[in-house]
Amino acid sequence: MLFRENRERRERSCTGPRARRGITVAAVGTALAGLLIGTVSATTSHAEDHAACRPDGLYTTPGTDVPYCSVYDSAGREKMGADHQRRVIGYFTGWRTGKDGTPAYLAPDIPWDKVTHLNYAFAHVGPDDRISVGADGAGNPATGMTWPGVPGAEMDPDLPYKGHFNLLNKYKKQHPQVKTLISVGGWAETGGYIDENGKRVDSGGFYKTATNADGSVNQAGIDTFADSAVSFVKKYGFNGVDIDYEYPTSMKDAGNPKDWALANARRGGLNKGYAALMKTLREKLDRAGAADGKHYLLSVAAPSSGYLLRGMETYQTTKYLDYVNVMSYDLHGAWNEFVGPNAALYDDGKDAELAKWGVYTTAQYGGIGYLNGDWAYHYFRGSMPAGRINLGLPYYTRGWKNVTGGTNGLWGTAKTTSCPAGSGLTTCGDGAVGIDNLWHDKDDAGKESPAGSNPMWHAKNLEKGVVGDYAGKYGFPAGTKLTGTYARNYDAGLTAPWLWNAEKKVFLSTEDEQSVKAKAQYVVDKGLGGTMVWELAGDYGWNAAKGQYEPGTTLTTAMYDAFKAAPAYGARRATTELPAQALDVDVSFTNFPLGDSNYPINPKIHITNRTKATLPGGTEFQFDYANSAPGNAKDQSGWGLKVVRSDHTAGNNIGGLKGDYNRVSVKLPASQPLAPGASADLDFVYYLPVSTPSNWSVSFGGRTYALAGDHARGTTVTDPGGPTPTPTGTPTGTPTGKPTGGTCTAPQWDKGAVYNGGATVSWKSHSWKARWWTQGDEPGTTGEWGVWQDAGAC
């Protein structure tokens, strides 16, 4: 029952603006790599406690001193420059080279002063399980191509390769605050790759490399890929790796139809392979970073669809990511007949696709609509601080023709049986074509795939009634004229603009300054880390001399302007205070039924006591789960699970979900104590997808502890049945237990003195230890997460 509508839409199984480039959404020599990726500054000296800079909830590779302070500040926030309080991440694609006669988008066209990160799309996984951008040569856009005569595209002669990688590093020298990541995979290249002739080779990609045919983890393939990715990053001067795996879900027929035969046979093991892939990448990047004195970033492009996310269990890989880029677009498109926004920020309670399948009227869902960016953000907020989440925005359109019903097309329908060859569909949406489909892909028969896919600069010209001078380069003859007018509409409740051509019955879902500014304000208000854009080449600017819109920087500039003076992003995951002491009690979510069988969503919470003390019957566990699901979770184990707090109590989510969490309390049965090394399973039930529940506490014997597996800042691992607590390597607040007292032997704190990390002082009958460089900060006033750590009374 749950998400039945998505069985028909199959998640972008029709090709769209990213199929050729595999979108999801989405060397400098060794001597230069340190400059480009960022070295430890004078204030992040060898004496600095790098663990103090670790983002809240981020996994640290055991035994590795990761140099977090090369990227993050002492609050665990990314350092991006004084005028970049939030991320602006742009995908920069390798195929808009101009060599085919269509407009090029090259490194000189990037608004380098407006972006914070660039993701190069795409590398792929080769048949040998190694990362690749194809064979070197003059025709390779990444490493060999040149653009003679193009201003700004002159190659840097100091680098041993050409192409986009040369230019990216050339411009990074001029803009050292900008970080670059190599993005691997995409819609077309998750299960294969595009060869030098533009043909897809079905090599297996991530599906084969991460998961064996029997569903087991392919650790050998994963190790090969991860080792090659680390070498690749170093060779070409990237700051990290972005994984665009579409999709490691147990939902049948998800992702590219060309991958179904291989992926469907492995569905039961894709999540395990994905988790092993991300853990391995994190650990190998951490070890490389420790050796190189710089922290390497790891991110993913993540789906926003509740259908796909239901089959991705609780996305238990978020702890390995510096941040997640949420593909909060492709929420409606010509893979089915339901005409709606490509990237609505909010639900309006009228989504025709959801309404048809009873989502609004099924009691367990609480009226929550899940095809919008706000719902997707809250899904990931369940396991991550807001600042480690970036909202995705599309710089392209999606659209239909022959639309019937709706308000100026919105929530109307457009159905056809003439579906693109290779889409796997027998019925689909009647996608817009021709001048309304400029950025179209071709189907397996070599014909135009109807999708209403256009860069925003072309959509703005349609709105203005202009046929741009570029039309001929896309195959439209001179003198081509538009039929009808394209009237702009805007729904503030959805935060969604669109164009409606009443004569042609064409609906094009767009993005423009009004919607981007509203979404940027949402990012600021909610404390998100920033935005991600697919893709930069779709942005627009007005050419007054020609009287037309062209590729430009209007939307990216709007985000930069909104963020440059914004307050710092949300760096804490928990919204209530967690205990300072943590226990090594392992919690995992297992035994998810596969695919459509996973309704209601019903995993086991597997709890293992790794301490030396028995957890007595009656021990209480509490945790938060995202309010992307309503506060009606329950258990089927007789443990008495109850929701003790819901931040969102309004029922439906029209206008957005309030707060972040539902908090759960559950107790071990009195007859079921948990001895050291023993495990117990809780049968957990909920009704809409959530990411991995977090902010755990466990209470017994009059004491309350956090859990070590939450990787929360400010906690120290202890063992109630063992010796003294063991520091986790993260900064602690007020020490656990009572101060032991003694004599103050350290020198008195001096307001004018400079103290480096590790320095100790006496102040107001306490000893204090500096976590990092400080001057003028009075001990006892900097708070639990501040520079001075209370070392006890003296």
Evaluate if pTM is beyond 0.85.
yes
Same domain as 782, residue 721: no
Same domain as 473, residue 438: yes
Token couple for 32: 């230069």
Residue 626: CATH number of its domain: 2.60.40
Residue 209 lies in a domain: yes
Residue 252 lies in a domain: yes
Same domain as 612, residue 557: no
pLDDT of residue 622: 98
Same domain as 335, residue 269: yes
Residue 568 lies in a domain: no
Same domain as 619, residue 765: no
CA angle 273, 279, 281 (to 5 degrees): 100
Q: What's the number of CA atoms in the CB half-sphere (13 Å) around residue 235?
A: 15
Give one DSSP letter per residue of 475-540, joined into a string. TPPTT----S--EEEEETTTTEEEEEETTTTEEEE---HHHHHHHHHHHHHHT--EEEEE-GGG-E
Question: If 0-12 CB within 10 Å is exposed, 13-18 middle and 19+ buried, where does residue 777 land?
Answer: middle
Contact indicator for 605, 616 with CB cutoff of 8 Å: no
Contact indicator for 249, 263 with CB cutoff of 8 Å: no
Residue 574 lies in a domain: no
pLDDT of residue 453: 98
400-430 confidence digits (pLDDT tens): 999 999 999 999 999 999 999 999 999 999 9
Q: CA-based Rg of the chain, rounded to a whole angstrom?
A: 26
113-142 confidence digits (pLDDT tens): 999 999 999 999 999 999 999 999 999 999
Residue 235 lies in a domain: yes
DSSP reduced 3-state for 170: helix
Same domain as 653, residue 753: no
Residue where a domain stops, chosen among 730, 750, 771: 730
pLDDT of residue 9: 37
Residue where a domain stops, chosen among 730, 760, 776: 730
pLDDT of residue 582: 97
Same domain as 229, residue 108: yes
Question: What is the number of structural domains in the chain?
Answer: 3
> What is the Cα–Cα distance from 664 to 155, expressed in whole angstroms?
58
CA distances (Å), 499 to each of 321, 400, 401, 402, 415, in order?
37, 11, 12, 14, 19
Same domain as 455, residue 333: yes
Containing 113, the helix (H) or strand (E) segment is none
Q: What's the full length of the chain, in residues?
A: 794
3-state helix, strand, coil in the chain (%, to 5): 20, 25, 55
**Residue numbers of the domain that contains 726:** 581-730
CB atoms within 10 A of CB 347: 27
Nearest C-alpha neighbor of 604 from the set 660, 533, 680, 529: 680
Same domain as 641, residue 498: no
CB atoms within 10 A of CB 610: 15
Same domain as 354, residue 247: yes
Contact indicator for 573, 527 with CB cutoff of 8 Å: no
DSSP reduced 3-state for 604: strand
Nearest C-alpha neighbor of 664 from the set 594, 599, 587: 587
Residue 770: CATH number of its domain: 2.10.10.20
Residue 763 lies in a domain: yes
Chain mean position to CA 644: 29
Q: What's the number of CA atoms in the CB half-sphere (13 Å) around residue 426?
A: 1
Containing 704, the helix (H) or strand (E) segment is strand 703-707
Same domain as 482, residue 334: yes
Say if strands 581-583 and 716-718 run parallel, antiparallel, or are unpaired: parallel
* Positions in the chain short of pLDDT 70: 1-48, 722-743, 752, 754, 757, 772-773, 775, 783-786, 794
Token couple for 184: 């691997």
Residue 572 lies in a domain: no
pLDDT of residue 788: 79
Residue 28: CATH number of its domain: 3.20.20.80
Contact indicator for 626, 597 with CB cutoff of 8 Å: no
Residue 573 lies in a domain: no
Residue where a domain stops, chosen among 511, 535, 563: 563
> What is the Cα–Cα distance from 673 to 679, expressed in whole angstroms?
10
> What is the Cα–Cα distance from 386 to 661, expressed in whole angstroms?
12
Same domain as 364, residue 475: yes
> What is the Cα–Cα distance from 354 to 338, expressed in whole angstroms?
9
